[in-house]
């Protein structure tokens, strides 16, 4: 009886032990993953509080008439350019170069945006005139309320090139 | 010795130092080494041949001394520096103008950090060309790679801290490169910046990494690296190419033969850094202005090789695929199969030396020609308008370069009837020298709008 028991445990034990070892290793891995997850969650960029965000994100640019057609106006606080097209439509262009993120100035004389960093150039619609920039300038949503132009700087819209439906038109232009 | 005859002073001293402070004879030296926390990382005796300066060039020791200097000066800087965008730049100005030796300490930190990158790079090259990554030192090569990575991260995170125009735009450009990594790129970029753009969160993150996390990793990994050197019975024993028989090992005591040499190298190094820091100030430009990019905007100099690649290849290849291949190659290097045991020979063999020279020469000629040609008339995007730029400006030129490199391997192997080791080394030299030339081009030959120009036309960039 006693002898039999011993034989049995000798048989069972190695596998039971290796099972427990595996269990511990598995638990260790889970703990490690949890730790990494906590660290990443902790460091993840936080969204600004809603009320603050709303108040700051929507920028009132001004009445439609104050922007001449085929002109570009810089808004330093919103970090964008309000670009009015020849046909009267509005585009809000991000000032960040799509190549490596430099700030692009509007060069009035040459009628284009010229990046000082690696010489990319963009036209008034944000389209790439000369590389290395791979995409047209990002845009923000423009909306016109009671003839006042406003820009929602909360969401950056990425695009590969300029298309007509990206332009926002004031009411009277829309009608004719 | 009875208690009665000792003085209070000698009792205190003996409790701190179990061994004589200045050992006089063999027995005392042995005791000195074993009873010293730092020194007991070293073997008691070492082969005489390994002492020759031109074997290791003292590069590992120099790197360690520089890290110590950086810790010392870094901790001092922390007393003055404030990691907030509104105040960081002003705290550096305060440091330079109102703090005694402030400018001097900053200079030491700055120059040590930059010299360290060069020194660690050369150390790695030395280890490679003396074949010191073969067993039993395989894993120490990996630890070394991690140390290299940590040094680059230290430098990179430190670069942002002064918050001047140079810092702000260099870090903007470098972190923008993440956007081109497929899938996780944007997420990674946001995590590192702590938001969509470089701002207060980025500065806090960078400062924490720079002054806590990376130093903690360094201070644990460096002793591990040294301990591994000891466990491999010291550095590789150099072998002569003329006399291939196993050299007779003459052992000499570590204390004083090795220790004194290390002290001399460290003292010369410190003297050099101090003089250099008295003469040359660390650069500081205007305060960071997110609305105004400087022209040209360059990454820190150790990343300019990559920025140069970015001018020639589609970003997906320049900042992702090519670096992945290089890093993968470096990690796997000790684990490839090699024909013969070449540990300890500089450049494997006489033939290996000649081939390395030819490869370096080819790279020096070919790389500038390729840079100028690509700048002036090669334009796959315009020639193949139907293809997406990932193919025309990415895959296609990369495949062409790869074919040239493989062709070079086969050609030089055949021409010299070389072994696989020697031919691989030749290719390594080719790529290494090309990379150095790319980096130098980025530092000195890129002016306004990143156009090619002469150094005296742009002023030498830091
Ligand atoms: C391997 C170690 C280290 C490297 C490679 C390194 C590198 C750098 C670099 C390149 C800078 C920019 C300096 C400039 O351009 O003027 C810097 C700044 C700074 N570092 Fe370090 N560092 C190291 C360790 C440390 C440690 C351990 C601390 C503190 C605990 C520290 C604290 C600072 C501070 C406060 C600054 C800002 C002051 C300034 O910019 O002059 N560093 N570091
Ligand atoms: C902070 C950076 C580093 C420090 C402080 C350091 C320090 C040292 C020291 C003191 C030695 C003894 C021999 C000598 O001085 O050459 C050594 C050897 C070695 N290091 Fe490093 N090292 C660093 C980075 C690296 C890197 C980047 C690599 C390679 C990827 C590397 C790989 C090795 C190997 C394989 C050895 C053994 C060499 C032999 O046995 O001849 N180390 N290191
Ligand atoms: S960041 Fe504008 S061209 Fe590179």
- The domain ranges of chain B are 27-237+251-294, 310-462
**Is the domain of A77 the same as that of A142?**
yes
Q: Is residue A67 part of a domain?
A: yes
**Lowest mean pLDDT, pick from A6-20, B138-152, B204-218, B324-338:** A6-20
Domains identified in chain A, total number: 2
Give the residue from chain B lying closest to A76, CA to CA: B291
**Is the domain of A59 the same as that of A92?**
yes
> How far apart are the CA of B315 and the centre of ligand 3, in A?
12
The three-state secondary structure class of A67 is coil
pLDDT exceeding 70 applies to what percent of chain B?
96
Q: B173 vs A102: CB contact, 8 Å cut-off?
A: yes
Does the pLDDT of residue A50 top 60, yes or no? Answer: no
**Lowest mean pLDDT, pick from A48-62, B136-150, B412-426:** A48-62
B94 vs A132, residue with greater confidence: B94
Q: By residue range, what is the domain housing residue A156? A: 50-166
Does the pLDDT of residue B144 top 50, yes or no? Answer: yes
Signed CA dihedral, B199, B204, B209, B211: sign only: positive
Cα(B178)–Cα(B315) distance, rounded to whole angstroms? Answer: 10
For residue range B377-433, list pLDDT tens digits in order: 777 777 877 777 777 778 888 899 899 999 999 999 899 888 888 888 899 999 999
**Lowest mean pLDDT, pick from A8-12, A30-34, B397-401:** A8-12
| Superfamily, domain B27-237+251-294 | Cytochrome Bc1 Complex; Chain C (1.20.810.10)
Does the pLDDT of residue B448 top 80, yes or no? Answer: no
Q: Tell me how close the Cα of B297 comes to any Cα of chain A, in angstroms.
A: 5
**Is the domain of A1 the same as that of A88?**
no
**Is the domain of A76 the same as that of A125?**
yes
- Token duo for residue B55: 């074997």
For residue range B217-235, list pLDDT tens digits in order: 999 999 999 999 988 888 8
Contact A79, A94 (CB under 8 A): yes
CATH at residue A87 = 2.102.10.10
Q: What is the pLDDT of residue A23?
A: 92
Pocket flag, ligand 1, residue B110 (CB < 6 Å): yes
- Token duo for residue A158: 């990425």
Out of A162-166, B69-73, B232-236, B333-337, the most confident range is: B69-73
**Is the domain of A26 the same as that of A82?**
no
Signed CA dihedral, A97, B185, B208, B306: sign only: negative
Q: Is residue A173 part of a domain?
A: no
**Is the domain of A68 the same as that of A139?**
yes
Give the DSSP per-residue string, A122-159. E-TTS-EEESS--SPPPEEEEEEETTEEEEEEEEEE--
**Lowest mean pLDDT, pick from A6-15, B105-114, B124-133:** A6-15
ipTM > 0.85, yes or no = no
CA distances from residue A113 to A91, A102, B11, B46, B94 in whole angstroms, order as listed = 14, 12, 78, 65, 38
Q: Which residues line ligand 3 (CB under 6 A)?
A: A 97, 99-102, 115, 117-118, 120, 132-133
Q: What is the pLDDT of residue B461?
A: 43
With cut-offs at 50, 70 and 90, classify the pLDDT of residue B127: very high
Ligand nearest to the CA of B262: 2
**Is the domain of A95 the same as that of A129?**
yes
């Amino acid at each position: 009886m006693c002898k039999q028991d011993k034989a049995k445990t000798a048989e069972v034990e190695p596998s039971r032990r290796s099972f427990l070892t595996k269990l511990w290793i598995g638990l260790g891995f889970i703990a490690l993953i949890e730790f990494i997850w906590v660290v990443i969650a902790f460091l993840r960029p936080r969204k600004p509080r809603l009320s603050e965000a709303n108040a700051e994100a929507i920028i009132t640019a001004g009445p439609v008439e104050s922007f001449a057609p085929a002109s570009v106006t810089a808004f330093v606080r919103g970090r964008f350019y309000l670009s009015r097209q020849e046909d009267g439509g509005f585009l809000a262009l991000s000032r960040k170069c799509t190549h490596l993120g430099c700030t692009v100035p509007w060069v009035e004389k040459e009628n284009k945006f010229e990046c000082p960093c690696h010489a990319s150039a963009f036209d008034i619609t944000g389209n790439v005139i000369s590389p290395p920039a791979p995409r047209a300038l990002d845009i923000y949503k423009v909306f016109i309320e009671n003839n006042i132009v406003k820009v929602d700087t909360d969401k950056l819209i990425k695009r590969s090139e300029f298309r007509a439906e990206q332009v926002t038109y004031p009411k009277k232009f829309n009608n004719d | 010795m009875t208690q009665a005859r000792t003085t209070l002073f000698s009792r205190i001293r003996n409790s701190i130092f179990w061994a004589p402070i200045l050992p006089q004879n063999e027995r005392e030296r042995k005791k000195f080494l074993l009873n010293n926390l730092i020194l007991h990382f070293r073997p008691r005796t070492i082969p005489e041949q390994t002492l020759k300066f031109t074997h290791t060039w003292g590069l590992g020791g120099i790197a360690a001394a520089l890290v110590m200097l950086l810790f010392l000066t870094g901790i001092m800087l922390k007393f003055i520096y404030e990691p907030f965008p509104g105040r960081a730049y002003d705290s550096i100005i305060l440091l330079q103008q109102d703090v005694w030796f402030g400018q001097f300490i900053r200079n030491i930190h700055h120059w040590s950090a930059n010299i360290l990158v060069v020194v660690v790079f050369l150390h790695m090259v030395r280890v490679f060309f003396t074949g010191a990554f073969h067993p039993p030192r395989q894993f120490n090569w990996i630890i070394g790679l991690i140390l290299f990575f940590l040094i680059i991260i230290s430098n990179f995170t430190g670069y942002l801290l002064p918050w001047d125009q140079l810092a702000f735009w260099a870090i903007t450009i470098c972190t923008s490169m993440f956007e081109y990594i497929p899938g996780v790129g944007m997420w990674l970029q946001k995590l590192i910046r702590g938001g969509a753009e470089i701002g207060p969160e980025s500065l806090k993150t960078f400062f924490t990494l720079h002054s806590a996390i990376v130093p903690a990793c360094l201070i644990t990994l460096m002793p591990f690296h040294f301990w591994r050197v000891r466990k491999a019975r010291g550095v590789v024993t150099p072998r002569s190419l003329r006399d291939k028989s196993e050299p007779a090992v003459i052992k000499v005591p570590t204390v004083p033969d090795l220790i004194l040499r290390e002290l001399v190298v460290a003292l010369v190094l410190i003297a050099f850094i101090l003089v250099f820091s008295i003469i040359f100030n660390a650069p500081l430009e205007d305060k960071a202005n997110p609305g105004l990019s400087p022209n040209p905007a360059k990454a820190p100099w150790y990343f300019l090789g990559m920025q140069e690649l970015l001018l020639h290849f589609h970003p997906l290849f320049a900042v992702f695929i090519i670096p992945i291949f290089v890093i993968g190659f470096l990690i796997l290097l000790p684990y490839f199969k090699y024909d013969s045991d070449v540990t300890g020979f500089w450049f494997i063999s006489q033939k290996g030396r000649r081939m390395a020279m030819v490869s370096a020469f080819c790279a020096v000629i070919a790389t500038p020609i390729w840079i100028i040609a690509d700048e002036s008339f090669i334009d796959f995007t315009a020639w193949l308008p139907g293809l997406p730029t990932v193919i025309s400006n990415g895959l296609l030129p990369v495949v062409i370069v790869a074919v040239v490199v493989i062709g070079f391997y086969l050609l030089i192997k055949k021409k010299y009837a070389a072994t696989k080791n020697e031919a691989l080394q030749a290719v390594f030299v080719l790529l290494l020298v090309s990379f150095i030339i790319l980096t130098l081009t980025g530092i000195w030959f890129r002016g306004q709008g990143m156009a090619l120009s002469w150094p005296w036309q742009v002023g030498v960039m830091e």
